[in-house]
Amino acid sequence: MNGNPPQNRGLTAIDGAMVLIVVLLIVQIWLLSATLESFLAGHREAAIPGAIISGLLFLACLGLYLFVDRVDSEIRKG
């Protein structure tokens, strides 16, 4: 049983995606600060995994944004 109208279901999906992006962003901010701290301490080997993981997190955020864009598009088209 689902009495939630499609408009609100779209909003719920978008809200869920936004929360996921925020979580990913927090991880990415922590990663940047940790990599910078490590770099300044002279441990330059941490830069490569830091950049790769940051790139993956960005791709995940971009994917979620495209999802939000598509849901928005479909709902507003009716």
Partner 1 sequence: MRLFRRRSDAPLWRDEFSVFTAEERYVNRRQFTKFLTLTSFGMLIGNLWILARSLFYRASAYSAQTIAAAGEVPIGGVKLFAYPTSQDPCILIRTGAESFAAYSQKCTHLSCAVYYAKEQNRLECPCHQGFFSVTDGSVIQGPPQRPLPRVTVAINDGRIQATGVDEGEGA
Phi-psi region of 5 (alpha: psi -120 to 50; beta: other; left: phi over 0): beta
Q: List the structure tokens of 18.
A: 């936004």
The answer to whether residues 10 and 64 touch, using CB atoms and an 8 Å cutoff, is: no
Q: List the structure tokens of 4.
A: 């939630």
Question: Any contact of residue 23 with partner 1 (CB under 8 A)?
Answer: no
Compare residues 4 and 69 and give the one whose CB is closer to partner 1.
Answer: 69
Q: Residues in the site for partner 1, rule: CB under 8 A? A: 7, 10-11, 14-15, 17-18, 21-22, 24-25, 28-29, 31-32, 35-37, 39-42, 44-45, 47-48, 50-51, 54-55, 57-58, 61-62, 64-66, 68-69, 72-73, 75-77
